[in-house]
């Protein structure tokens, strides 16, 4: 596996990958912030099934962290992550530093309205501007034929697809931005780098989140009142040891518009805090 640390190195490496076969090879991009777990590696495997070469990026993006969030504490383990990527057959790792991604004088920001409103967009002002900006830069730097993202961050996926559609991006085209189903632990908790922050007690209690979501979804499918169902789910989470529920909402999967009932395209979105760690999840109804 090659590792590129500067933009000229990256572009030369991508060009060589594309010219490595008897025809122009296809490349897939999987962008990450590192601290890789099996959820990330599942994305790499899915990308390998779709493209000739997989390019992974690791960049802890300061622009998507808000005031008081865990930018400094976010785990950085490039050597360990590199070994995991190499074992998955990733062809190229793009690992820029902040100066390479945002050089002196950088002054551009991308903002995507609509799908970024509410949910994590409401709780973390400016977060999705940072996501859209860095992902657009990564797309322009790598110019992949396709890109893959985990569905655990469903609102993020919706923001990226909206950006690609609105800006007429060709590498990748919006139709080549693929979501990969959430990878879960044995007890149902969605895999996340932030799970490592949980104590043993809080980790055990965190499994209440996916179970409570499944119960709420079953009630919604049965036609029970959405507001009362979600309020009961919040009470269950607080009773299990969660300190706060940031949101628990039913939304349209594509527009991210609020719903008061299942429209045939609904997803349940939840963000809750336990032991100082903020966990997010979403599931289709």
Cis preceding linkage at 172, omega within 30: yes
Q: Give the count of beta carbons closer than 10 Å to the beta carbon of residue 13.
A: 19
> How many angstroms separate the most distant Cα atoms in the chain?
61
State the catalytic residue, choosing from 37, 40, 173, 202: 40
Active-site annotation holds for 173: no
| Catalytic sites, residue numbers | 40
């Amino acid at each position: 596996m090659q590792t590129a640390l500067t933009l000229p190195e990256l572009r030369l490496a991508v060009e060589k990958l594309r010219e490595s076969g008897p025809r122009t090879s296809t490349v897939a991009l999987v962008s990450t912030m590192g601290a890789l777990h099996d959820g990330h590696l599942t994305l790499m495997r899915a990308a390998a099934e779709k493209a000739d070469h997989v390019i992974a990026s690791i960049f802890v993006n300061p622009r998507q962290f808000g005031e008081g969030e865990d930018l400094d504490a976010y785990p950085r383990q490039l050597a360990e992550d590199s070994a995991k990527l190499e074992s998955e057959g990733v062809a190229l790792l793009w690992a820029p530093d902040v100066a390479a991604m945002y050089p002196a004088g950088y002054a551009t920001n991308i903002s995507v309205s609509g799908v970024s409103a509410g949910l994590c967009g409401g709780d973390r002002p400016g977060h999705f501007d940072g996501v859209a900006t860095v992902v657009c830069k990564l797309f322009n730097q790598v110019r992949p034929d396709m890109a893959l993202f985990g569905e655990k961050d469903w609102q993020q996926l919706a923001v990226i697809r909206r950006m690609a559609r609105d800006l007429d991006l060709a590498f990748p085209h919006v139709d080549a931005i693929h979501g990969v189903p959430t990878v879960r632990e044995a007890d149902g908790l969605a895999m996340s780098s932030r799970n490592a922050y949980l104590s043993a007690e809080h980790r055990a209690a965190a499994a209440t989140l996916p179970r409570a979501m499944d119960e709420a979804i079953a009630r919604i499918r049965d036609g029970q009142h959405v507001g009362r169902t979600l309020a009961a789910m919040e009470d269950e989470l607080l009773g299990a040891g969660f300190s706060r529920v940031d949101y628990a909402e039913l939304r349209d999967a594509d527009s991210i518009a609020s719903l008061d009932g299942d429209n045939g395209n609904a997803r349940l979105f939840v963000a809750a805090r336990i032991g100082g760690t903020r966990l997010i999840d979403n599931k289709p109804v």
